[in-house]
A and B are shown apart, each in its own frame.
Chain A
Amino acid sequence: KQEVTQIPAALSVPEGENLVLNCSFTDSAIYNLQWFRQDPGKGLTSLLLIQSSQREQTSGRLNASLDKSSGRSTLYIAASQPGDSATYLCAGGSGNTGKLIFGQGTTLQVKP
């Protein structure tokens, strides 16, 4: 059974800092790994999708990597800005049901 863990639960950094959010999963037979952002009271916005045959994806200041052998994914945010403050969730899918298993999220605060 796939389990997804995100550490830390909360993170506060000064503006301009580069940071890494961590996501670990138990089933190495993961298909895709998807990173989301959630602002308070809003739905989830998909940031990056790493397919099983890929090792990383990049979008602007965001870079996500996937290491299936170690059961880890990281989301790297370069030159953080106050607008990056949100909760970031990772989710992985395995098995044949199409379901995603979500981590509990990391709440990021970027201070001006």
Chain B
Amino acid sequence: SQTIHQWPATLVQPVGSPLSLECTVEGTSNPNLYWYRQAAGRGLQLLFYSVGIGQISSEVPQNLSASRPQDRQFILSSKKLLLSDSGFYLCAWSPKFHEQYFGPGTRLTVT
């Protein structure tokens, strides 16, 4: 069966510091991968998605970036965090279009 991991589970970072969140999927190959952000009291916002290694599509212009160095690894990064980057970050994988499965999430607090 497939499993999706995210780490860290929680993170507290000062404004201006860098960020690296990691997502890995087990038990499948060539999945579509997605990064979402869920701000307090708001819905899910799709940030990036990837249909293959090195293929990243950005949905929202911001100071975040994503990379997919390996088939089942998806990384969300920032060079300098802003207060507005605080939120709950969710990674999801998809075996095929229009069907997604989510990881446990990372709670990021920027202070």
A contact set with B: CB distance below 8 Å: 31-32, 34, 36, 41-46, 49, 89, 91-94, 96-100, 102-105
Contacts and interface: CB of A to CB of B under 8 A. Distances in A.
Nearest to B41: A104
A46 B34 CA distance: 15
A43 B97 contact: no
A91 B100 CA distance: 10
Nearest to B103: A43
Contact of A104 (B43, B97, B104): B43
Is the contact region of chain B dominated by helix, strand, or loop, or is it mixed? strand
Nearest to B34: A99
Nearest to A89: B44
Given A42-B104, A43-B104, A43-B105, A98 B97 contact: yes
B43 A105 contact: yes
Closest 4 CB pairs of A and B: A93-B98, A98-B97, A44-B102, A32-B98
A43 B49 contact: no
B32 interface: yes
Contacts of A32: 98-99
Contacts of A103: 43
